[in-house]
Structure formats: structure tokens, C-alpha cells
Amino acid sequence: MENNEALVYQFRFTNTISEITKRQWNEYFDASQPFTRHEYLSALELSQCVSHKTGWQPHHLVVTQGDTIVALMPLYIKTHSWGEYVFDWAWAEAYERNQLDYYPKLVSSIPFTPTTGARIGFLPSLSDIDKQHVTSEIINVIKQQLSERQWSSWHGLFSHKAEHTLWANTGIIVRHGCQFHWRNNHYLDFNDFLTSMSSRKRKNISKERAQIQKAQLRFTFVNGDDATDEQWQGFVRCYQQTYLKRSGHQGYLSAVFFKLIAQTMGESIRLLMIQNAQDELVASALYFVSNTHLYGRYWGALSDYDGLHFEACYYQGIEYAIANQLHVFDAGAQGEHKVARGFYPVATYSSHVIDHPAFNDAIANFCQQEQQHIKLYMQQMTEQLPYKAINQ
């Protein structure tokens, strides 16, 4: 471990989350948010999905005051920009054109998971003033790390709005993005959801679902705790085959990772198993749940059916959220096609520290201009929502 001191706080970096107990880590983050849980991040490390070899070297930050941990931050040394979903490839190319190294860089995020949440876990008793103070000191320590190690930058990705404000108050670069999330407006069932839409949009969705009904597929949600080894193996087969077909590799996450989260946090997982009339597995999807949210994360298919992706990744999720009175369904990054299916545009936030002064200014200007484009884009997407005017 390395040690740095600033004011009354001490800072250390660790290359494994195992140096922090599960109880300690989970006490500092929202227990209902699955992706910041110790079990999830530990599974990524134990399965070697994040490692020096994969370009995600753990470098987690622990902030203490005396013997008390006051803040924790997941942190990684990155040697590429894959699996982040806040795209900085153009920044890396600009560095290369100027004979500068953009990598390594530091990233505070949940690997391969573009989901909004806390990127700093604070001591629960910490006041808002102290949280701001700690955040400012974290930025100072990050800047020191960048300078000493000759790393180009730090990036905090998909912070929730309150944390975004803490970062913004330090004066660093902030960047806005857009995702599409479904909201549960107290719907009784899927048909009640459809009645909130204009006639044409309602018919389009009904037509898509009718294609799947004709195929006589059976959709079954299974709690992660209850899923059998065979069901997990079936999901992994679907996931890997679809990734291989689409990207030429078997995906960022391994069978070992999925086995670990099944063992340690199955209560937060829902496996969607999709079978044909002969009880053969044709597709599967992996969802996570919190107290308020449903998260659609990964899916794969062994057979092609028209409309199956929309059914497995959107409509089944909406039905599950309604039936279980969940407030929000986050079905993943990007995808304007979600708007026609009832998903609202939602702002996302990231924060950035750039060590090079000239590039810091250029990237800050870019992000300011981009923010105006994002604002206009979200307005345009809102106008395209399929709901009757009274529901928007």
C-alpha cells in the first residue's frame, strides 16, 4: 500500500478489495445497490475479469481519520477505454497525435457496468460539509497521483446526482450524458402501461409482442438463489455465444464470475430463462434488483427470433417491474430505440481530472459544448415519447 496525508485525513491505495472486509465496505455504500457491493466487486477480482492482464488493475482508495474509515472509492488503473461507456477515445487519439501517452489513466467506476450509483462510499455519520471536504481532499490526492505517476487523467463515471454535485463543487471537469430508463407510473399491469400510450405506438408494441407469442416461447424469471447449475450454465452459453457473434470474443465476464455472484448475491439476481415448445433453451437474460430498481444487464440467444431481443430485454423487464412494484427499470446504456417503447431520457454524470494543463482546458471546453448538445438531444427525445400528452 501507498500512503499520502492531507490535513486530518490519511489516504492509502490497495490493489485488492479483499483488504477491506465485506462488512466495512457494504456499510459505506447503499446496501440495496447491487453493483457497489463488496460481493460484486470481489467477484470481478477473484475471477480475474479485472486485473493487470485485462487492463483493469484495482487501485482502490481508502480514506481514514485515525483508526476510522471515513470514505472508500472503487478505483482502477486502466490501460485502455473498453468497458467504460463514457467514451473518451477521441481524447486518447488527440494525446497520441501530440506524442503524449493517454494510458495509463485512473477510473472510478463499476467495470463493464454503465449504471448510475455512488462512486464514493462515506461513513454514514458524516455531515454534508464533511463529505464535501473529503471529496475535495480526494481530488487533491488524485492530482498528486497523476503527477507522481505520470498518468494522464482520472475519470469518475456514472455518479448519482448528489455525488455529481460534490465533484462539481471541487471545480473539476464535469460531463453529461444520456441514458433511457423506464418509469413505473403505478401501472396495474402491462396492458395498463400500454393504455398510457398513443394508439399508433401501442399497436407497434403489441405487434412486436405478437411475433413472440406466435413462436410459442416460454419466459420464466428465476431467483438467483434458486437457479440451478444447469440454468446458470445455459445463461453463460447464451451470453458467450452472442458476444462471440457480435464482437469476436466471449465477453468481458467469465463463467467463474457468474458462478461467484450466484453464490454470494443470488438474492439480488433474476435469471430470465427462455425456452421453446420442446423445452429447449433458446435465450437467457440476466437482471439485478434493488429495493426500487430493476437492472437489465446481459442477454444472449442461441436461436434467432424476430423481436426476441425487445421481448427479453425490455417488455419482460417492464412486466417484472410492474408486478413487483419497482419504480425504475434501467435496461442498459444507449439506445434511442428505447424511447418508442416508453423509456424516458435520463441525464448521466461523469467527472474528470486532466493532468496536462492545455488538454484540461480543451477537454473542459469540449464538455461544456457537449452539454448543450446533450440538453437539446434529451429535449428532442422527450418530444418523441409515445405517451399521451397528459402522461409526459
pLDDT tens readout for residues 135-157:
999 999 999 999 999 999 999 99
Same domain (yes/no): 246, 288:
yes
Same domain (yes/no): 215, 282:
yes
Same domain (yes/no): 215, 78:
no
Q: What's the grid cell of residue 116?
A: 448510475
Q: Establish if 201 belongs to a structural domain.
A: yes
Distance, in Å, from the CA atom of 82 to the CA atom of 92, rounded to the nearest integer, reads: 12
Place of cell 477473484: 46
pLDDT of residue 389: 74
Same domain (yes/no): 359, 322:
no
CATH number at residue 276: 3.40.630.30
Secondary structure of residue 299 in the 3-state scheme: strand
pTM of the entire structure? Answer: 0.95
Q: What total of structural domains would you count in the chain?
A: 2
CB 302 within 8 A of CB 282: yes
**What stretches in the chain show pLDDT beneath 50?**
1-6
pLDDT of residue 38: 98
Same domain (yes/no): 236, 274:
yes
Same domain (yes/no): 10, 138:
yes
pLDDT of residue 6: 43
Q: Which domain holds residue 277?
A: 185-326
List Cα–Cα distances, 368 to 48, 105, 248, in angstroms: 37, 22, 36
pLDDT of residue 113: 97
CB 72 within 8 A of CB 22: no
Q: Establish if 392 belongs to a structural domain.
A: no
Q: What's the grid cell of residue 244?
A: 462471440
pLDDT of residue 246: 87
Q: Establish if 335 belongs to a structural domain.
A: no
pLDDT of residue 5: 44
pLDDT tens readout for residues 44-60:
999 999 999 999 999 99
pLDDT of residue 391: 54
